[in-house]
Amino acid sequence: MLSKSDYLINIAATCVGTRALGPGLRSVVWVQGCPFRCSGCLSPQWIPIRNARLVPIDILVEELLINPLVDGLTLSGGEPFLQAAALSELVRQARKQRELSLICFTGYQLADLRNMTAVKGVEDLLSMIDVLIDGPYIAELDDNRGMRGSSNQVIHHLTDRLKDYNFETQPRQAEIRISDGDMLFVGVPPQGIIPQVDQEVRLNSSRMKVLYEWT
């Protein structure tokens, strides 16, 4: 049974309707808070376990599905499994409205998650995921390939729903979105793109806030 706090999700950022984080048109949730503190993390502002944007589940579902063409969800962060109970309820409610695939990035390894049955929501969320990309990010092992940040991370097809999409060797994609003076990057960053964009921002605008919202 969900507690009152489980009906709120602590969000770092969202993106509706992207093709950079999996097949089809997807909506993405990046949660706030991560226990791993990986060296070279591309989103260090999402590591602290603190309140960012607290969103009721039903409101977030409405936000993520506002585009009727969205056919998948991607969860990342931060660490999604720190909010497993709330996220599993989010997916449950969203799937009542339409058929959606689910991709999830996590710093935990699958074997460890399967042993965390006593932690509320972990088993439930695992049962809903079609593709799990697991393991901590190791900057030295970033080989610029596929939809994982570094080569130690493993792509697990937990269902056959997305079996025809090649997560391992699919060229990395990045989308840049600008809203209210913020620049939002979406995708697993191809090598070299961050310094290039940093330089462009410095040359063209001293006022624009850059948020690295990759995986």
Q: For the chain, which residues make up each domain, given as ranges?
A: 4-174
What pTM, to 2 d.p., does this model score?
Answer: 0.87
The answer on pLDDT for 122 being more than 70 is yes
At 138 the three-state DSSP class reads coil
Tell the CATH topology of 4-174.
TIM Barrel (3.20.20)
What is the DSSP secondary structure assignment for residue 21, as one 8-state letter? S
- Please give the structure tokens belonging to residue 55: 């969103």
Q: What is the sign, positive or negative, of the torsion defined by CA atoms of 160, 135, 11, 202?
A: negative
Largest CA distance in the chain: 52
Residue 205: pLDDT band with limits 50, 70, 90: low
In angstroms, the Cα distances linking 131 to 70, 127, 215 are 17, 11, 14
The answer on pLDDT for 3 being more than 90 is no
Radius of gyration of the chain (CA): 16
User: Strand 174-179's sheet: what is its strand order?
Assistant: 174-179, 182-187, 209-211
The answer on pLDDT for 197 being more than 70 is no
The answer on pLDDT for 138 being more than 60 is yes
